[in-house]
Amino acid sequence: MRNTILLLLCFGFAGVALQAQEYRVITSVESIVPSGLGRSRIINSMEEKDYQEYTSEQTEEDNTRNKSSRKDIRVKNFEETKLLNFFNMGGIRFQNIAANDTMITSMINAMVSDGWELAFVSSAVESDSGKGDGQGIFITRYIFKK
């Protein structure tokens, strides 16, 4: 009897361990273009794609190309939540940063309420590279798992 209970517990834990995890990436793009001319958004794809359909293998003997085109990769169904730009005509706008934080917090809380866990956050910046550039974005990827 004891061995049977132990065996059932082992199978139960094995079943839990074998559950596949699902991931979702949501991206925020915040403009750092002077004068408030840029666009800032939270982007959430509403489609799923299989990366293998767009992957090709390159070897010295065989140059096998994937038949899909770049336009097939595009996602046409996505949510776009407006954010405010970091700069306005007067320079950096701290109220805009606080407003964006509120919007991003709301998005994270909604995902957590839907059963997602925030697993990773990765961010990067492409900023003004000097005189005459005037371009830049601050991008953050929020990776959730379920």
Per-residue pLDDT reduced to its tens digit, 73-104: 888 899 999 999 888 777 788 999 999 999 99
Q: What token pair was written down for 88?
A: 């306005």
pTM (2 d.p.): 0.76
- Hey, CA dihedral for 86, 89, 94, 98, is it positive or negative? negative
More confident residue, 85 or 3: 85
The amino acid that residue 93 corresponds to is R
Distances (CA, A) of 140 to 29, 100, 121, 124, 137: 7, 12, 7, 7, 10
Where do the structural domains in the chain lie, given as residue ranges?
A: 18-49+62-145
CB count, 10 Å around CB of 40?
22
Nearest-CA neighbor of 141 among 13, 24, 6? 24
Per-residue pLDDT reduced to its tens digit, 20-58: 899 999 999 998 877 667 789 999 999 998 888 888 888
